[in-house]
Amino acid sequence: MKNIDFGLSENVTIKTILKYNYVMHNIDKQDIINQNFKSTLNIIKKFEQAGKQGKDKLLLLFYGYDNVREEIYEIPEIRNYVKKLIKKIPHLFYFLSNFQQNKGLITACIS
């Protein structure tokens, strides 16, 4: 069984994507508030380069919201961020994994 990579997006390479079952990308609360997509777009570029090997491997996590009662899809700034992210990367769901219901939670953000 392969490990799950907990590395930050800056450390993720195509080799990382090929090596692990899942790659976690933490989106920082400040990036969400400021609508900064740079780190997320950078990791998506790596997934695009990995092509089919990156399918269903990406987990998006939202760092800084651990102590809130709401689910991520109930937090307006996360919903707004995700909606804009999908406009920038309409094929995002190709790379998203459903591990820990991640794909479903992201879907709930746009519904």
Looking at residue 10, what is its pLDDT? 61
What pTM did the predictor assign? Answer: 0.88
- On whether residue 69 sits in a domain, the answer given is no
Q: Residue 38: which domain range?
A: 23-64+75-110
Number of residues assigned to the chain? 111
Looking at residue 2, what is its pLDDT? 53
Give residues with Cβ within 8 angstroms of 102, minimum separation 6. 59, 60, 96
Looking at residue 91, what is its pLDDT? 97
Number of domains in the chain: 1
- On whether residue 5 sits in a domain, the answer given is no
Q: What is the rounded CA–CA span in Å between residue 17 and residue 49? A: 10
> Which residue, among 67, 64, 37, 58, has the nearest Cα to 105 in the 3D structure?
58
- On whether residue 98 sits in a domain, the answer given is yes
pLDDT tens for the chain, 111 residues: list them.
455 545 455 678 888 888 888 898 999 999 999 999 999 999 999 999 999 999 999 999 999 998 999 999 999 999 999 999 999 999 999 999 999 899 999 999 999
Tokens 């380069």 -> residue: 49
Q: What is the DSSP letter of 34?
A: T
